Amino acid sequence: MENVKHLVHHDHGNTLNVIVTELEKLGYQVSWKILNASDFGVPQNRERIIIIGYSKSKYDFGKIKKKPRKKLIDFLDTTGDFEYLEPNEYTLLETTKEQPSSGLIFAGYRNKSIRKVGVRPGTEHLSRVHKQPNRIYSVFGIHPTLPSQESSGRYFILTNENRVRKLTLNECWRIMGFPENYKKVSSVGEQYKQLGNSVCVPMIAAVASEIKNQLFGGK
């Protein structure tokens, strides 16, 4: 099973405890762990809880093969009809710094009105009340989670040419780990929803590979 990482803290941990307890009552040996897509070869900070139950033995998450963290710039289209912002539409930070835990580099924000009530001065663009579509991230770091609520694809990046543009739809599929020949048949808005609701393909493939190795003797 897979869910957002907040499941661990929901109702002070009681929700997750009920899930695990009920699975154990059904005869499963249960283990769980929060995994991040950025540990599996894609530049997206996407944390999800994975719960695995098997009747005969427990799954060992420690055996999953991870990969070094990659940068967003290596996953971008080199040509295309890019949607750039005009310089007066955004503000860049004078200095940027990569967040060690997430790999994100917050580079600036769009000049849109935002809610400032209850926010400490100087932190308006780092606060939770600041909507994600206004933020701009450097391509030399990784990208935040692609959410299912964003149907317009307002994911803005600061390129190596020091210009700000939206991620293309193909780039979004790429940082979710989908192959280049994946057939995209839905409308643009529906595809953005599908992206946000999907799992990171390489991460789930790594989990599944160890299910085969550990629980089924490699068969």
**Residue 148 — pLDDT band, cuts 50, 70, 90?**
confident
CATH class of residue range 72-197: alpha beta
Mean pLDDT of the chain: 91
Closest to 165 in 3D by CA, of 110, 105, 106, 103:
110
Please report the pLDDT score of residue 61 as a whole number. 98
Residues 6+ apart with CB under 8 A from 153: 166, 167, 169, 172, 188, 192
Give the residue with greater pLDDT, 2 vs 149. Answer: 2
Closest to 196 in 3D by CA, of 158, 153, 156:
153
**Residue 151 — pLDDT band, cuts 50, 70, 90?**
confident
Cα separation, 69 vs 55, whole angstroms = 34
Domain residue limits, the chain: 2-67, 72-197
Cα separation, 203 vs 210, whole angstroms = 11
Asked if residue 66 lies in contact with residue 39, where contact means CB atoms within 8 angstroms, the answer is: yes
Q: What is the pLDDT of residues 180-201, one digit of tens each?
A: 999 999 999 999 999 999 999 9
Cα separation, 64 vs 33, whole angstroms = 11
**Residue 219 — pLDDT band, cuts 50, 70, 90?**
confident
